[in-house]
């Protein structure tokens, strides 16, 4: 950013007409904590978020806001003037949990065995509810804010279901944030362009010939075949991908066999390819097909490789990012607004919104004071001080976009190619 642009952008955060009262008093702070902890105690998996949706609607009603069920378990609410001709900005929070047995030892740990909020979505919902509370204080809003509480982000397609149910009708831009314990509490990362990778989930079904553990020559062992396949796949990254290109293949599930003395006849492997540009992605997909076919022949088994729908890359619109940055400066202070660095190889279905309207996804630093496992682990937790920061930023970014919606190019390139 040029020095002149930086000075101009800094000056905008001090214009009296642009200011929104985003102070979080003790009552709202305690409310945010209570909301997050309730959601953490009662996590629900993708497309099962019925209790979560009911709780969100109840909390919205406490603030005088009517929430509507959309897409089965999502919740959508509009706040602001009902004038259909005015600008609308969308704010999104994901709300689903993961199939993990929690081992944090928190006093509000999951009461649902085998389910856990291990990615911060409980915090995201609390933040968006907090933002709604702050926006309700404004004597007059310059447009409408659409609150989108989205299910099934972990499935990678919850955003599509919400879009199919018309949540983007009239929306000029979308904004969201994600809790990230890799950054210190108080920091907000804001970056234009590519920030999250493409994600291609895949399944490999192996069919061999079951047999007795003492007579392997009579069988075709899919465990040995699968193990060889897992190891061979790694060479796609180490020997076929340009080392200057970020990419990873992970096998997250390998299921086979049911007894110690039986050679398994069937196996199922599930994984993802995560890429930061389309050319590398396509080459790796072709390479995976080649290796699966070759290894099937080597081990005399049958193999079927199938891909689920690609999760697009998150590509932040430049103009939306400038508004997000100004809101972050107002929220956290200029010295706390940083770059995330290289694009994350994590996937985010916020990308589906960005394929249709300009948008920006930021990260809220939330490194806890004590020990914490990484996201998607059974010991993941975060510093709850980030809740009010996220609530304030969401309110600020919506306010700022409504004041200057023309700065976002509604007909710009929605490409997510990170090259």
Per the DSSP assignment, residues forming a β-bridge with 37 are none
For residues 123 and 298, give the distance between their C-alpha atoms in angstroms, rounded to a whole number.
48
**How many CB atoms sit inside 10 A of residue 139's CB?**
5
User: Are the C-beta atoms of residues 50 and 95 closer than 8 Å to each other?
Assistant: no
The DSSP annotation for 219-252 comes to SB-HHHHHHHHHHHHHHHHHHHS-TTS-EEEEEE
Residue 376 marked ligand-binding? yes
φ/ψ (deg, to 5) at 342: -60, 155
In terms of Cα–Cα distance, which of 166, 167, 284, 291 is closest to 226? 291
For residues 120 and 102, give the distance between their C-alpha atoms in angstroms, rounded to a whole number.
13
Residue 178 marked ligand-binding? yes
User: Are the C-beta atoms of residues 243 and 276 closer than 8 Å to each other?
Assistant: no
Type and span of the H or E element at 266: strand 266-275
Residue 124 marked ligand-binding? no
Helix (H, G, I), strand (E, B) or coil at 331: helix
Known binding-site residues equal 119, 121, 154, 178, 376
Known binding-site residues for Mn(2+) equal 119, 121, 154, 178, 376
């Amino acid at each position: 950013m040029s020095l002149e642009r930086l000075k101009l952008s800094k000056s905008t955060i001090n214009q009296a007409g642009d200011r929104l009262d985003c102070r979080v008093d003790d009552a709202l702070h305690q409310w945010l904590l209570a909301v997050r902890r309730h959601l953490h105690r009662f996590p629900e998996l993708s497309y099962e978020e019925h209790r979560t949706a009911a709780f969100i609607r109840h909390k919205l009603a406490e603030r005088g806001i009517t929430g509507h069920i959309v897409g089965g378990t999502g919740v959508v609410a509009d706040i602001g003037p009902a004038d259909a001709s005015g600008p609308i900005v969308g704010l999104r929070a994901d709300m689903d949990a993961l199939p993990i047995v929690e081992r944090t030892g928190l006093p509000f740990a999951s009461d649902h065995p085998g389910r856990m909020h291990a990615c911060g979505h409980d915090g995201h919902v609390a933040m968006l509810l907090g933002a709604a509370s702050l926006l309700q204080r404004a004597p007059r809003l310059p447009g409408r804010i659409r609150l989108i509480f989205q299910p099934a982000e972990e499935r990678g397609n919850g955003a599509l279901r919400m879009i199919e149910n018309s949540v983007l009708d009239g929306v000029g831009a979308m904004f969201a944030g994600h809790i990230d314990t890799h950054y210190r509490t108080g920091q907000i990362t804001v970056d234009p362009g590519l920030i999250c990778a493409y994600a291609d989930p895949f399944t490999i079904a192996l069919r061999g010939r079951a047999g007795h553990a003492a007579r392997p020559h009579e069988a075709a062992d899919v465990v040995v075949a699968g193990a060889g396949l897992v190891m061979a796949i790694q060479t796609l990254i180490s020997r076929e991908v340009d080392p200057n290109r970020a990419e990873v293949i992970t096998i997250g599930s390998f299921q086979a066999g049911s007894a110690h003395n039986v050679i398994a006849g069937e196996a199922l492997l599930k994984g993802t390819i995560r890429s930061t540009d389309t050319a590398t992605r396509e080459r790796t997909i072709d390479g995976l097909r080649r290796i699966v076919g070759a290894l099937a022949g080597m081990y005399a088994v049958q193999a079927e490789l199938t891909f689920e729908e690609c999760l697009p890359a998150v590509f932040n619109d430049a103009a939306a990012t400038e508004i997000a940055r100004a809101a972050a400066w107002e929220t956290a202070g200029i010295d706390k607004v940083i770059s995330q660095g290289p694009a994350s190889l994590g996937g985010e279905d916020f990308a589906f919104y960005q394929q249709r309207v300009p948008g920006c996804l930021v990260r809220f630093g939330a490194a806890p004071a004590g020990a914490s496992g990484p996201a998607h682990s059974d010991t993941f937790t975060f510093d709850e001080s980030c809740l009010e920061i996220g609530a304030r930023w969401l309110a600020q970014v919506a306010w700022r976009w409504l004041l200057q919606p023309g700065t976002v190019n509604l007909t710009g390139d929605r490409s997510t190619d990170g090259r």
